[in-house]
Amino acid sequence: MTDLFSPAPMDNILPYDGQVHDLGLVIDYPSPLFYNLVTELPWQADVVTLCGKTHTTTRQIVWMGDEGIDYRYAGHVRQTIPWTNTILSIKQHVEQQLSDIGIEASFNSCLLNYYPSGDDGMGYHADDEPELGAQPLIASLSLGATRKFVFKHKKTQDKVALNLESGQLIVMRGDTQTFWKHSIPKTKKVTEGRISLTFRRILTL
């Protein structure tokens, strides 16, 4: 497993079969923003169905975006709620950060995940649902506790790991979701909460 430290924004942190860029810390005051989102958003426990079994997670979610942009994953449909002024402002800031390094993006949705502590995580998965298209562009902003984020190649099982700090932005694009899975491992070392905001574009027919 490779640990990575402060690459340049346009450096590809994956060794092959995809593109992931670390834009570093892009939020000036992430702590107040984190606590505002924890208290203000209508968080709900996520429900996933895997191998015929339905589970309710302690991890909580909000699915937000343009009107009518619903999202199906893990056997369930998430119905969108309208953008709040805060999340819409963050979306525009993230799009500008990407534009500054030559990546043009226009996101129409955001999946927010709240991990109350290190006891909450997410197993290996790829954001490869048909609604995202063949080569989705996904920008992920972290707020709150620093957590490890791990990529694992689907065939070779090679791993790449980085620690995501509060206010840090990464972007996944190209063939990343085709060839790599990613996860947030559980850990007893972290007692504070973390929020991830994953901006994406759902394709509508």
What are the pLDDT digits (tens) for 20-71? 999 999 999 999 999 999 999 999 988 666 556 666 778 999 999 999 887 7
Class of domain 2-200: mainly beta
Tell me: is residue 113 an annotated ligand-binding position: yes
Predicted pLDDT of residue 189: 96
pLDDT band at 76 (very low <50, low <70, confident <90, very high): low
Q: For residues 148 and 139, what is the distance between their CA atoms, to the nearest angstrom?
A: 17
What is residue 9's predicted lDDT score, i.e. its pLDDT? 72
35 is in an annotated binding site: no
Burial environment of residue 11 by CB neighbours within 10 A (0 to 12, 13 to 18, 19 or more): exposed
Q: What is the residue type of 192?
A: E
pTM greater than the 0.85 cutoff: yes
Rounded distance between C-alpha atoms, residue 85 and residue 104, angstroms:
22
User: Is 12 one of the annotated binding-site residues?
Assistant: no
Rounded to an integer, what distance in angstroms lies between the CA atom of residue 78 and that of residue 117? 24
The answer to the question of whether 21 is labelled as a binding residue is no
Query: Does 72 carry a binding-site annotation?
Result: yes
Mean pLDDT of the chain: 91
Model confidence at 2: pLDDT above 60: no
pLDDT confidence of residue 69: 87
Tokens of 108: 């129409």
Q: Is 200 part of any known ligand binding site? A: yes
Q: What is the pLDDT of residue 68?
A: 83
Q: Is 173 annotated as a binding residue?
A: no
